[in-house]
Amino acid sequence: MTQNQTLLSVRNLKVAFRQENGGEFQALKGVSFDIPAKRTVALVGESGSGKSVTSMAIMRLLSPQHAQIHPDSQILLQGRDLLKAGGAEMRALRGKDIAMIFQEPMSSLNPVFSVGEQIMEALMLHAKLGRRAARRRAIELLREVGLPEPESKVDSYPHQLSGGQQQRVMIAMAIACEPKLLIADEPTTALDVTIQKQILQLIADLQKKHDMAVLFITHDLGVVGEFADEVIVMRHGEIREQGKVQQIFDAPQDAYTKALLACRPHLDRRPQRLAVIDDFLQPGGYVEPPQRERGYRADDEIILDVRGLSKSFDVREGLFGKRQFHAVKDVSFKLAKGKTLGIVGESGSGKTTVGLTLVRLHQASGGQALFHGQDLLGMDAKAFHAYKRRIQIIFQNPYASLNPRFTVEQILSEPMQLHGIGRDGGERRKLAQELLDKVGMPAGALQKYPHEFSGGQRQRIAIARCLTLKPEVLICDESVSALDVSVQAQVLNLLQDLQDEYGLSYLFISHDLAVVKHISDQVMVMNKGEVVEQADADQIYREPRESYTRKLLESIPQGWVGMAPA
């Protein structure tokens, strides 16, 4: 098979999901594309665009009870229509000819089996290897995907590995039987920039080594800029544009493609507001606003002064032993009123521990956090209660941080009730509605439950909940990392509007360096619990002093850096 031959052809793929009211939702509306052998095709779009439904249809993993594929649709693997294949035939194909890396490794890996057992299962089933041979091959695969100490890691359970290591195990499972097509569904979404770069490079290297074709699914056009050969842009179940990567990046034709490229924060400029999808779909198109200046000034009022903050945890070692793990070591910084301090670093650097310790969800091991001159860490619980409302935290996962049994009104009213805000339920309801309007939530949201909203809308509700207490400091802990680039732009614009209006100060914790540069006045780089470097945002990105900072910056995907909106 030559490189330009078609491996997989999707023709007129239509998928409808049955709804509880008896109607149907058209998830895919006649999608057609080809995947050439030994090439990488990126499928790009926001949540709800139909990307993952397409991949699940190819793998025949859609439930026939809930999803109906149109009889005229075709999915041809080297001429064989997968939609007409029987159950036994598909089971033989999955893992052997077509393999998939799922988005969330922690929920995709079986927690009760070692990672070695899970890789061995595919080898024993498809390659007909014996148990010993399968174990040897599993160790070889773990070594091939760059997992350290594979001879011991083969017996580890998923929870004993980091997120990046779990993703490497998923890749090892997927390539175990050397498939012709590898489907990678958002494999780097929640990973640090350095780990993301390693995973992307690993997939590219394995593709060449094993002569695989890759269908790479992502919501971020920037990630595929230096990785894919061809790009397919989807929206609302339809293909809006497709072509060679260079063509799409240099001269996008569709307004939606232009919007996706422009929504992402850029390293070479900082507009006062980020572009959102609607800006490009309106008559007249998008005109970039003036640039926003950032940085601390000598006369800035310091609202939070953290000195020598430390946090240690007891870690079990052996059956009876334990040792101390120093998560945060002697961290000091100052946060100015109405300004944003970005905190960046890889997983395990101590970023989140700093935020949780400041709001006393962790008990500090040492140091001070002077808030208007009062030490938040040294006061007793009763005294701290009065300060809780003045320093709030927005957590990373809006799906886990909102009570699923509460309506939005209850979620917003509870903190007001606890802190004595509002005379009665009616006044608190009015305040809650005003806050929902402020964060751009639709009318009627008060009586709905969290599951009725998208991820971006849930994050807006979480922000509104923080605002009920009229805080002076917001700690944003990876609060936009799992959002589509367009929704991320909306939330970042919202945070900026709130800062401009209320003079809020932000501690913005993130592994996304482009987002941090866009929103931060000053940046603090952390590694292994310590502050590596700290300076104004523009300076640290222009002239990083430390090798660790340079490594982080070099890991940023370069496909979109410096691109001007078309």
Residue pLDDT, tens place only, 9-58: 999 999 999 887 778 899 999 999 999 999 999 999 888 889 989 999 99
Sign of CA dihedral 175, 176, 179, 184: negative
The 3-class secondary structure across 501-513, one letter per residue, is HHCCEEEEECCCH
390 neighbors 371 (Cβ within 8 angstroms): yes
Question: In which residue are the tokens 């997968």 written?
Answer: 82
How far apart CA 523 and CA 534 sit, in angstroms, is: 6
Residue 179 to residues 37, 119, 128, 225, 291, Cα–Cα distance (Å)? 11, 14, 15, 24, 48
Superfamily of domain 337-366+379-554: P-loop containing nucleotide triphosphate hydrolases (3.40.50.300)
If pLDDT is split at 50, 70 and 90, which confidence band does 190 have? low
If pLDDT is split at 50, 70 and 90, which confidence band does 558 have? low
pLDDT in tens, 246-267: 999 889 999 899 888 888 888 8
Residue 160 pLDDT more than 60? yes
If pLDDT is split at 50, 70 and 90, which confidence band does 407 have? very high
How far apart CA 370 and CA 377 sit, in angstroms, is: 8
What tokens appear for 59 in the block?
């793998």
Q: What is the pLDDT of residue 6?
A: 93
Of the ranges 93-97, 376-380, 440-444, 451-455, which is most confident?
376-380
408 neighbors 436 (Cβ within 8 angstroms): yes
Structural domain boundaries in the chain: 1-97+181-188+213-245, 337-366+379-554
Q: What is the pLDDT of residue 560?
A: 44
Of 193, 240, 188, 245, give the one whose Cα is nearest residue 217: 188
CATH topology match: 1-97+181-188+213-245 vs 337-366+379-554: yes
Residue 3 to residues 7, 35, 323, 426, Cα–Cα distance (Å)? 9, 11, 55, 67
Q: What is the pLDDT of residue 307?
A: 97
pLDDT in tens, 466-522: 989 889 999 999 888 767 788 888 889 989 999 999 999 999 998 888 899 999 999
How far apart CA 229 and CA 559 sit, in angstroms, is: 12
Q: C-alpha 195: how far from its chain's center?
A: 13
Of 472, 533, 534, give the one whose Cα is nearest residue 506: 472
Looking at domain 1-97+181-188+213-245, its CATH architecture is 3-Layer(aba) Sandwich (3.40)
Whole-prediction pTM value?
0.82
Amino acid at 293: E
- Percentages helix, strand, coil for the chain (3-state, rounded to 5) are 40, 25, 35
Mind giving me the DSSP string for 125-193? Answer: HHS---HHHHHHHHHHHHHHTT-SSHHHHTT--GGGS-HHHHHHHHHHHHHTT--SEEEEESTTTTS-H
